């Protein structure tokens, strides 16, 4: 009995509680989880995704408040517009100096009112009248003349028999004037315009506007004298030197080509006279890039748009 009891006891110890299979050591647990269980969380129903609707709103400009109307400033103090004497000169009536005289005389009106104060300015839209005649700012004109001999380069000269203005008298309605000078016996290129800014630019030595002359001398120019002209020397009004000089006729050596940018009076003639030569003929064949091509002596032509742009760019 005791042996049976021991066997049964041993069996009870191995199986644990009656009716359950013995535990397997060293293996993964089976059945229900032993220990504390996690709390059950109820899941909320998922919300359906609804895409956001974008509404296109019409563009509307912000209304600006009306600006107050500015009162016109005193004309004599305004820095805008064009000076009245310049406006009159550009209209082809007279020069600026003469315009000042007419203004003080009371023959000029702006918008129906007589103006006598110098320095008054004309603003775009103003009505300017000279002695009752309506004036307008004229367009810019650029004209090239192949000047012949025995014409004086001036707008007015009571002592001159013929001036260059006679040659271009019927060219245009605008009041034009020569740029620079050619003496009475010098022939060649002469530019006319009513563009004062361009005229100053072309005649000022600092801009180095290229001018080429063909010179006919009374005797051959020696090599040493040509070098002296190229190196430069002192004249009564200062130092002078040619930019370039060469023979045109290599055999006779009396035909010379000389490039110079100085605007001094009769400068080419004085250069050769200083060295003991007499200039028989002097012809300007190039001026600021303009040539005499297809322009007979005594004739003129208007510059092309490209030529005007070229002059203003230099």
Per-position DSSP letters for 270-286, written without gaps between them? HHHHHTT--EEEEEEEE
Q: What's the mean pLDDT in 132-152? A: 89
DSSP 235: E
Kindly tell me if the per-residue pLDDT of 228 is higher than 80. yes
Residue range 194-213, pLDDT digits in tens: 888 888 888 877 777 889 99
Comparing 32-41, 80-89, 92-101, 177-186, which segment has the lowest mean pLDDT?
32-41
The CB-based long-range contact list for 19-28 (8 Å cut-off, 24+ gap) reads none
Q: Which alpha helices (H) appear in the chain, and where do they start and end?
A: 2-15, 84-90, 96-105, 196-203, 223-231, 267-274, 305-313
Q: What's the mean pLDDT in 122-149? A: 88
How far, in Å, are 122, 215, 269, 270 from residue 225 at the CA level? 56, 14, 14, 14
> Three-state DSSP class for 178?
strand
The percent of residues above 70 in pLDDT, for the chain, comes to 75
Instruction: Name the residue with higher pLDDT: 95 or 270.
Output: 270
Closest CA to 288 of 257, 263, 255: 263
- In contact, 147 and 167? CB cutoff 8 Å: yes
Instruction: Name the residue with higher pLDDT: 311 or 313.
Output: 311
CA 38 to chain centre: 85
Active-site residue identified among 150, 157, 173, 183? 183
183 assigned to active site: yes
Per-residue pLDDT, 74: 42
């Amino acid at each position: 009995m005791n042996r049976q009891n021991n066997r049964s006891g041993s069996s009870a110890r191995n199986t644990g509680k009656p009716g359950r299979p013995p535990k397997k050591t060293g293996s993964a647990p089976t059945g229900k989880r032993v220990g504390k269980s996690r709390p059950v969380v109820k899941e909320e129903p998922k919300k359906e995704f609804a895409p956001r609707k974008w509404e296109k709103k019409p563009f509307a400009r912000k209304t600006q408040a009306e600006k107050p109307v500015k009162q016109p400033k005193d004309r004599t103090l305004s820095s805008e517009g064009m000076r009245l004497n310049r406006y009159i000169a550009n209209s082809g009536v007279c020069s600026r100096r003469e315009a000042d005289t007419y203004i003080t005389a009371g023959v000029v009106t702006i918008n129906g009112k007589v103006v006598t104060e110098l320095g008054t300015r004309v603003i775009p839209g103003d009505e300017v009248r000279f002695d009752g005649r309506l004036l307008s700012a004229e367009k810019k004109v650029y004209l090239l003349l192949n000047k012949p001999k025995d014409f004086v380069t001036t707008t007015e000269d009571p002592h001159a028999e013929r001036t260059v203005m006679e040659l271009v008298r019927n060219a245009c309605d605008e009041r034009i004037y020569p740029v620079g000078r050619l003496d009475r016996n010098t022939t060649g290129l002469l530019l006319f315009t009513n563009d004062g800014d361009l005229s100053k630019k072309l005649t000022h030595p600092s801009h180095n506007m290229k001018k080429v002359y063909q010179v006919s001398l009374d005797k051959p120019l020696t090599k040493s004298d040509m070098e002296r002209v190229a190196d430069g020397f002192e004249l009564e009004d200062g130092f002078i030197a040619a930019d370039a000089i060469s023979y045109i006729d290599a055999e006779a050596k009396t035909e010379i080509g000389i490039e110079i940018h100085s605007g001094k009076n009769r400068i080419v003639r004085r250069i050769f006279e200083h060295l003991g030569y007499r200039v028989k003929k002097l012809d300007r064949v190039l001026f600021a890039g303009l040539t005499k091509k297809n322009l007979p002596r005594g004739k003129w032509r208007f510059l092309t748009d490209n030529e005007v742009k070229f002059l203003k760019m230099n």
